[in-house]
Amino acid sequence: MPLREPFVSSAGERSERRILLLRARGDEGHEGWGECVAGEVPSYSPEMTETAWHVLTRFILPGLLEREVLDPVEILRSSGWIRGHHMARAAAEMACWDLQARELGVPLGELLGGDDDGVPVAIALGVHADLGALSDRVQEALDTGYAMVKLKVRPGHDVEPVRKLREQFPTLPLGVDANGAYALEDLPRLRELDEFGLVMLEQPFAPAAWLDHARLQGALQTPICLDESITGEAELQLALELEACRMVSLKPGLVGGLHVARRMHDLCRDRGVPLRCGGMLESGIGRAHNLALASLPGFVVPGDLSESRRYWVQDLVTPEFGLVDGRMPAARGPGIGVEPDLDRIEVLAVRRRGFGDLA
């Protein structure tokens, strides 16, 4: 799928997404959909679209055939011996959550224990060399109803654009996201961001730089929000134990699915750690799953759940996602609350593999 415009971050520039979708069909004919959030290259995570395809088709999906499964939590037990590959595993598990919610005739958010009030959302803006154009994009986002702006930063493009936005929008809820572009020797530069009253500084260092994140958080007033570092429950527990952050960006497709994401939500809520639901340039299928998770009460910071038209000329679902009174509405229909556009998916598909009745 081509992006509406190139998306630039410290990890590089992207102009299209190669998306892996998974469809699950139950005995009564209901279908659920999942989306793998892995990227095309291993710049964000070791997992890629190609590795997820291999792990799903070679190891995970064949093990699901001829088995009676009564709960999505059971889906991954047959592949519990696989180390890592959380994104591939999550795609299968989340498709089955959608399937179960459709079989029960309830919205997925309700099945997870969330509310139906919709959620306030943030918009993530990539690196802009033209600060005037950046200000225009922020004003457009505020006029649309976004509750927060998250700006991508990297060395050489950080304090100046933040200062410009803070001068122009003094009350704007503003956060920054470094995607691991800095190192501990950048501490003096990162300290300068404290004066701007930011909601968060997201993922300043590499994912495994636990001690450096803890040192930085001890030196900053601005909450560090860990994202790429939080790939599962063990990583979350380590972050909290080391006090390496004061906020967490939780992505179900990154941590292994909705079941583990819900447990991690509960842990953060018990510890008083605010959550936001991150996005990974998903189509409307993945976005719908994120929205269902974000309806849980611990998600108190606006997450990256932008409208469909923010990224896509045309999404893969109907209806497409749009803000209503500054919030992303919760699903009203069963499951993820949107229907995959099968004709469009068929036109865009470059590879298919079926198992069982879908072979």
Residue 311 has pLDDT above 80, yes or no: yes
Split at pLDDT 50, 70, 90, the class of 220 is very high
**What average pLDDT does this structure show over 74-93?**
92
Burial bucket for residue 143 (CB in 10 Å: 0-12, 13-18, 19+): exposed
**pLDDT value at residue 164:** 95
Split at pLDDT 50, 70, 90, the class of 70 is confident
B/e letters for 107-138, b = 16+ CB within 10 Å, e = fewer, are bbbbbbebeeebbbbbbbbbbbeeeeebbebb
- For residue 316, what is the DSSP state? S
**Beta pairing partners, 295:** none
**What average pLDDT does this structure show over 253-271?**
97
**pLDDT value at residue 9:** 65
SS3 12: strand
Q: Give residue-wise pLDDT tens across range 93-135.
A: 999 999 999 999 999 999 999 998 899 999 999 888 889 999 9
* Mean pLDDT over each residue of the chain, to the nearest integer: 94
If one counts every other C-beta atom within 10 angstroms of the C-beta of residue 1, the result is 17
Give the span between the Cα atoms of 185 and 78, in whole angstroms: 45
% of the chain beyond a pLDDT of 90: 84
SS3 226: strand
Residue 322 has pLDDT above 80, yes or no: yes
Q: Which residues are catalytic?
A: 152, 251
Residue 44 has pLDDT above 90, yes or no: no
**pLDDT value at residue 11:** 63
Split at pLDDT 50, 70, 90, the class of 326 is confident
**What average pLDDT does this structure show over 273-302?**
96
The DSSP string of 239-269 is HHHHT--SEEEE-HHHHTSHHHHHHHHHHHH
**pLDDT value at residue 358:** 80
Residue 272 has pLDDT above 80, yes or no: yes
Give the span between the Cα atoms of 217 and 258, in whole angstroms: 28
Length of the chain as a residue count: 359
Lowest model confidence (mean pLDDT) among 7-16, 113-122, 251-260:
7-16
List the beta strands (DSSP E) in the chain.
2-9, 12-16, 20-25, 31-36, 119-125, 148-152, 174-177, 201-202, 224-226, 247-250, 275-277, 303-304, 317-318, 327-328, 339-340
Q: Give residue-wise pLDDT tens across range 291-304.
A: 999 999 999 999 99
**What average pLDDT does this structure show over 55-74?**
87
Does residue 170 contact residue 195 with C-beta atoms inside 8 Å? no
- For residue 331, what is the DSSP state? P
Q: What is the pTM of this model?
A: 0.94
Q: Please report the domains of the chain, with CATH numbers, ordered by start residue.
A: 2-106+339-358 (3.30.390.10), 111-328 (3.20.20.120)
**Beta pairing partners, 277:** 250
Residue 12 has pLDDT above 70, yes or no: no
**pLDDT value at residue 10:** 59
**What average pLDDT does this structure show over 209-217?**
98
Is the bond leading into 319 cis (omega within 30 degrees of zero)? yes
More confident residue, 10 or 325: 325
Q: Cα 267 vs. chain centroid, distance in angstroms?
A: 19
**What average pLDDT does this structure show over 256-282?**
96
* Pairing outcome for strands 327-328 and 119-125: antiparallel
